[in-house]
Structure 1
Amino acid sequence: MTPAGLLPPLSLNGQTSTRIAVFAATPWEMRAIRSAFHPVVERTVDGMHTLVHVDRGQEYWLVQTGVGPEKARQCAARLLDHQSFSLIISTGFACALIAAGIGALLVGHELVYSGREATEPVPPIDVASEERDQLIRCLQARVPADT
């Protein structure tokens, strides 16, 4: 383990790597995400299976959480207790609150949390960032726009 208990980057090459966590709930969502990231290295964090892909100084950590907000919360908490990330992305049905075609890639610009019972109004948090924009460019290069 490195200082503070964090795992070392997979590729150093004199560069500082940026870590991005990508969470998906279901096996079929995970398969779709994994198909965009090859090759991957398997890592275990606090007993949790993760897949890590390294591309041009970026580490993409792919994690299947299971269905539901409690499983997602527990999984994210376990990973974040052991590793820091520049960006965290929830994929799959997390953004699908608008009409979209099958296979459409939806990328959120805001994070909204209304409490466990969805009764606490909270203003959205803007998540626009360099890392988010880099991930979008990477996905656009790997996923054809007309599929």
Structure 2
Amino acid sequence: MDRSRDLDLLLLGKTGAGKNATGNSVLGFKAFSSVAATDSVTIKSKKEVTELENGHRLRVVDTPGVGDTRGTEADGEELFMDAIKEAIAMNPAGYHALLLVLRFGSRLTKEDVDIIGYLKTVFGENFIEKHCIIIMTYSDDF
């Protein structure tokens, strides 16, 4: 298999930012559960693959949100780190880009800044500049 023709993307972001819906949009079909909910929806990392018209494969891995709402902050961090380990195992060759999903129209809160700081500790200080594409969701609400 010629992996040089493939594109591998990892979805990251805060709980409720719209990672599942973004993954569905990128893939072009409903692969990830996308519902309006007050609690976190994604529990484990999940990979979906599609073949594009040009023969390239597109792999998208969805992760639980940073700041997961089930349990304590420590529980959320453990869930996220476990999900990142799963995501690495699902795609050991690595990712072409990390899609950082942010909700459009809301102010950048202390929680948002803390989450970005946390992601920098996980992926490295310059991960946003070097490896991220920032996706703004919910713009149709405005």
- Which category describes the TM-score, using the shorter chain as reference length? 0.3 to 0.5
The structure carrying a bigger helix percent of its residues is 2
TM-score when normalising by structure 2: 0.43
Which of structures 1 and 2 has the bigger CA Rg? 1
